[in-house]
Structure 1
Amino acid sequence: MDGLMVNTEELYTTVGETILERRGHQFTAELKNEMMGLPGDVAWQVMIDAHRLTDSPAELDAECEVIFADLLPSRLQAMPGLMDLLAFLEEHDIPRCVATSSSHRFAERVLGQIQVLQRVAFVVTAEDVPRGKPHPDIYLEAARRMEVASNEMLVLEDSHHGTRAGIAANACTIAVPGEHSRNHDFSGVHAVADSLADDLIR
């Protein structure tokens, strides 16, 4: 979802910069890449370990929510091609869901704001499975709820950790990197798309 369907990866950069600037550190591209696609508590622990912060993952997550609350109303946008892709899937009666490392609360808020929540069957988050991405659990759970075999499912992902999860679930996995993830290792994916508007997704 983040960076694939909505521009929240861009907003996460602002959040990461703000949090670390308050503590006298810089939020580097390398650190962001390490955190990208991981469940929230795991991602925050990466930041904590990188800068030896005294905060807990829960404390950083709470601070993040406050910063995001200011950013979302004016800066949240759907990624290019998303609405046309959803219309195509609806026209061809292809089931769809969202599998994200974000929390239910955050995912539903974001998807609701861009009026997409009602256009997917359900949302699976890291809160619903024992292990987050890059483990396959979230996509195996999505396939179970969809009542399809995981190898019959198409997974679209913008990050290394996300594509690892899709591949591990034996799903047809297409990488759709953004500016934030062009340099990620997408080896093993079925294909790499330029954007959600790329014809190879259809």
Structure 2
Amino acid sequence: MIKNIEACIFDLDGTLVDSMWMWPEIDREYLGRFGIEYDDNLKNEIDGISFHETAVYFKNKFDIDDSIEEICKDWENMALDKYKYEVKEKPGCVRFLEHLKSKGITMGIATSNNRTMVEAVLGSLNMRHYFDAIITSDEVKKGKPAPDIYLQTAKELGVMPHKCLVFEDVVAGIKAGKSAGMKVCAIEDDFSREVRQKKKELSDYYIDDYRELL
């Protein structure tokens, strides 16, 4: 899989770390503050878009009076404790990162999350030192499924897109990687199990967890 590959670029949530479970909890709790009932279809509507774009979506869809900045700050505060104390790596992840490092393959992160939370979870799991570039969707023009974030990460790493291998757990992210002209390995995650077949169709490779690659 990594033959002729110079860089691996990873999504964060659901790909490097097992954290997708917490976002519906946060959305449900947050909307509950306004007396709004959480709808399970919501996750499909916001899949892949940036943290800031999601706040705009919530404000408009649910007619929330708080500013975009206030919404983002509330979510950040709700998520930070979970990132620091509850979120774990995906099975075999760190061993695989060590394997890539031993092969001289450069690594980066391209995430729809915001930088504060990315740094919090990477610090908690002692994973930050593996990555030479971290780009968030708030730092590019368009979030996933647009290719912007993967192209920007490749540029930061100094690697041509066709020499990059993307690891992703959701359809929007897989589409973003493919649109960037990169190979994509989809990874199993409970949060996206209902679209498993679609993920397999869109990606070049599919794994249940990183231990398959060791």
TM above 0.5, one fold?
A: yes
Of 81-90 and 182-191, the range deviating more from structure 2: 182-191
Partner of residue 129 from structure 1, selected from 140, 154, 160? 140
Shift of 1:157: 0.6
Q: CA RMSD in A?
A: 1.8
Question: Aligned with 1:198: secondary structure?
Answer: helix
1:190 aligns with 2:204: yes
Q: Is the 8 A contact 1:159 1:177 kept in 2?
A: no
Partner of residue 164 from structure 2, selected from 142, 148, 153? 153
Q: What do the CA deviations read for 1:108-153 (whole angstroms, capped 9, x no partner)?
A: 1211111001111121112332222111111111111222210110
Structure number with higher relative contact order (C-alpha < 8 Å, ≥ 6 residues apart): 2
2:205 alignment partner AA: A
Q: Distance in 2 between matches of 1:168 and 1:146?
A: 18
Shift of 1:86: 0.7
Whose strand proportion is higher, 1 or 2?
2
1:4 aligns with 2:15: yes
Paired position in structure 1 for 2:41: 30
Q: Which runs of 5+ in 2 are unaligned?
A: 1-11
Q: Is the 8 A contact 2:83 2:120 kept in 1?
A: no
Q: With structure 2 as the length reference, what TM-score do the two structures score? A: 0.85
- Identity percentage over the alignment? 26
Paired position in structure 1 for 2:75: 64
Q: Is the 8 A contact 1:80 1:195 kept in 2?
A: yes
1:18 aligns with 2:32: no
Q: Distance in 2 between matches of 1:156 and 1:107?
A: 16
Q: Is the 8 A contact 2:51 2:138 kept in 1?
A: no
Shift of 1:165: 0.7
1:96 aligns with 2:107: yes
Shift of 1:167: 0.8
Of 112-121 and 68-77, the range deviating more from structure 2: 68-77
Shift of 1:49: 4.0
Q: Distance in 1 between matches of 2:136 and 2:71?
A: 19
1:30 alignment partner AA: N
Q: Which runs of 5+ in 1 are unaligned?
A: none
Paired position in structure 2 for 1:82: 93
Of 181-190 and 102-111, the range deviating more from structure 2: 181-190
Question: Aligned with 1:97: secondary structure?
Answer: strand
Q: What do the CA deviations read for 1:159-199 (whole angstroms, capped 9, x no partner)?
A: 11111110110100111131001123424211222123233
Paired position in structure 2 for 1:179: 190
Paired position in structure 1 for 2:6: none
Shift of 1:85: 0.9
The number of residues matched between the two structures is: 200
2:179 alignment partner AA: A
Q: With structure 1 as the length reference, what TM-score do the two structures score? A: 0.90
Paired position in structure 2 for 1:162: 173
Q: Distance in 1 between matches of 2:108 and 2:116?
A: 16
Q: Is the 8 A contact 2:162 2:181 kept in 1?
A: yes
